[in-house]
A = this chain, B = another copy of it.
């Protein structure tokens, strides 16, 4: 690539989040970076898009300078709107994150961070989702450094059509990271429970809670790589067809 690559930066924690600021700083070192992100937190929005409300875009400042565009929509909305209405021309790369909290295993399907990268991939642009696997306050310098390394690789190699990368980074200092592992999506899931409470108006409400059920042990699984202090890089695609099940189902009595 002779020209500087154009990079779209988005997230689901919102344009105020420290993770997107850290990601933007390193993307600026790789090319022309543009931030288009939700105006507030949209975590666990899944692959939502906004159909029935108008989308609004506002210029957003940080430290007294223009930082990016804030959109009253989801991460997928931001990607669509950036490409079709905000940026002067389509980007060469889309990066989403750095999310605070892991997007591994079954959590992938709830992830707004991943959905932005999926949206980019559907449109035909190489896209990467980055998550730091902790909810604790931590600085993003290590994960930003890693994001830069992985983005460089993608700018160099490109990605196969229909493939996005889902990157999860363990919450440790750079020297403690053992390396980068290409992984597959695990089966770990939350066993949910609801805590029932009564509000001051005597109405019942519920809080979602739960415990993580680790259901994998193979080293090439996303959560296992993270536990072993590896950066997990999972190629994802969005054809959800269960090809294994097709033949069996075709044998059922499908009579009307």
Residues of A within 8 A of B (CB): 41, 43-52, 54-57, 74, 76-77, 80-81, 84-85, 106, 108-110, 115, 118, 122, 146, 149, 153, 157, 159-160, 162-163, 165, 174, 177, 179-182, 184-185, 189, 192-194, 196-197, 199, 203-208, 231, 233-246, 248-250, 252-256
B160 with A239: CB separation less than 8 A: no
Chain B, Cβ-Cβ closest to A249: B182
Q: Which of B47, B157, B162, B252 contacts A153 (CB 8 A)?
A: B252
Once the chains bind, are B49 and A44 in contact (CB under 8 Å)?
Answer: yes
Measured between beta carbons, the chain B residues less than 8 angstroms from A48 are: 44-46, 48, 110
Instruction: Evaluate contact between B203 and A56: CB separation under 8 angstroms.
Output: yes
Q: Which residues of B contact A49 (CB under 8 A)?
A: 44, 46, 110, 208
Q: Sorted from nearest, which 4 A-B pairs have the closest CB atoms?
A: A46-B46, A46-B47, A235-B245, A237-B242
Beta-carbon nearest neighbor of A220 in chain B: B246
Known contacts: A54-B206, A208-B80. The answer to whether A238 contacts B194 by CB under 8 A is no
Q: Is the CB–CB distance between B192 and A55 below 8 Å? A: no
